[in-house]
């Protein structure tokens, strides 16, 4: 990495307005996500439901006083949010040499119908591959890998590797159970074989539904809550990172793990409340040198 100035380990792209309508198979296009203007702001609709409003997630380049939770449109945001050439200009202006790119469309992991979910993920991965081809050295794409169907997840991991993706994003709260379950071992093995790091990101997956609620109730790591951000999502996310890290490192020993938006300083600030939390913290310190960890 010598010669780089600043590398952003957690940046996001805003999917273009017509992306899914252009890229999903024709048979699914009627059900695919669409942009609708509601009360002056653009929102993403999926089968009659709002899955994402445009606000803070597209606030790049705006003054703090201009931030808002919703009400932005594709006309009011910077073109660099979705256009790679404009993105590179913005990076030059900010002195950023390279960016690791994640989606804004985390909702894709929550689509109930798996055929539609996979089609949306594949469409996004194809778009991101094209986006990054503008300058592969500076635009580092992380592909979406479904976890609702492990066999399909392995195939998509192999496909995005061929597209030039540089990592794999999986659901932190998958529907088949904890990431520490052996059911996901084929995905970890595929990542190891492909030489691609596995990425975990806050709020990816069924973080607002029954899967999150059930895992929250039975999670042995919920006592890891002492941090700046004490929301249930953040607390359980940290415990999922430690349990997933343990399983991945034991089943795919050379695989790399990247934990994004963990608030990494928590392990330095917290006093372990139990033996289990102390072990979790030691695990994070062990996997840390082998992974890229962004706060």
d(CA 35, CA 47) in angstroms, rounded, equals 12
**pLDDT reported for residue 246:** 56
- In the predicted model, residues of the chain with pLDDT beneath 50 are 1, 208-209, 216, 219-239, 265-295
Tell me the CATH number of domain 7-13+85-294, given options 3.40.720.10, 3.20.20.140, 3.40.980.10, 3.30.430.20. Answer: 3.20.20.140
Sorted by where each begins, the domain ranges of the chain are 7-13+85-294
**pLDDT reported for residue 289:** 34
Query: What is the three-state SS of the chain?
Result: CCCCCCEEEEEEECCCCCHHHHHCCHHHCCCCCEEEEECCEEEEEECCEEEEECCHHHCCCCCHHHCCCCCCCCCCCCHHHCCHHHHHHHHHHHCCCEEEEEECCHHHHHCCCHHHHHHHHHHHHHHHHHHHCCCCCCEEEEEECCCCCHHHHHHHHHHHHHHCCCEEECCCECCCCCCCCHHHHHHHHHHHHHCCCEEEECCCECCCCHHHHHHHHHCCCCCCCCCCCCCHHHHHHHHHHHHHHHHHHHHCCCCCEEEECCCCCHHHHCCCCCHHHHHHHHHHHHHHHHCCEEC
**pLDDT reported for residue 283:** 37
**pLDDT reported for residue 270:** 34
**pLDDT reported for residue 249:** 56
d(CA 236, CA 218) in angstroms, rounded, equals 10
């Amino acid at each position: 990495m010598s010669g780089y100035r600043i590398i952003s380990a957690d940046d996001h792209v805003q999917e273009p307005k017509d992306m899914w309508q252009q890229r999903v198979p024709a048979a699914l296009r009627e059900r695919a996500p669409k942009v609708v203007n509601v009360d002056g702001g653009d929102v993403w609709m999926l089968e009659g439901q709002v899955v994402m409003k445009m606000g803070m997630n597209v606030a790049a380049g705006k003054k703090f006083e201009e931030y808002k939770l919703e009400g932005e449109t594709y006309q009011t945001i910077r073109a660099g949010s979705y256009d790679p050439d404009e993105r590179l200009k913005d990076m030059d202006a900010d002195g950023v040499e390279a960016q690791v790119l994640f989606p804004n469309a985390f909702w894709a992991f929550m689509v109930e119908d798996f055929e539609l979910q996979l089609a949306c993920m594949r469409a996004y991965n194809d778009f991101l591959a094209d986006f990054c081809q503008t300058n592969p050295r500076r635009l580092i794409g992380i592909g979406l890998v479904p976890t609702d169907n492990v066999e399909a997840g392995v195939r998509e991991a192999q496909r995005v590797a061929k597209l030039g993706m540089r990592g794999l994003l999986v659901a932190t709260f998958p529907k088949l159970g904890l990431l520490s379950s052996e059911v996901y071992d084929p995905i970890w093995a595929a990542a190891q074989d492909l030489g691609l790091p596995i990425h975990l990101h806050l709020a990816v997956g069924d973080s607002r539904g029954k899967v999150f609620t059930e895992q929250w109730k039975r999670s042995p790591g919920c006592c890891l809550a002492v941090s700046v951000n004490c929301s249930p999502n953040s607390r359980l996310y940290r415990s999922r990172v430690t349990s997933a890290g343990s399983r991945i490192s034991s089943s795919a020993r050379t695989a790399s793990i990247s934990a994004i938006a963990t608030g990494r300083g928590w392990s330095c600030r917290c006093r372990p409340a139990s033996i289990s939390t102390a072990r979790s913290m030691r695990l994070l310190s062990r996997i840390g040198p082998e992974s890229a960890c962004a706060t």
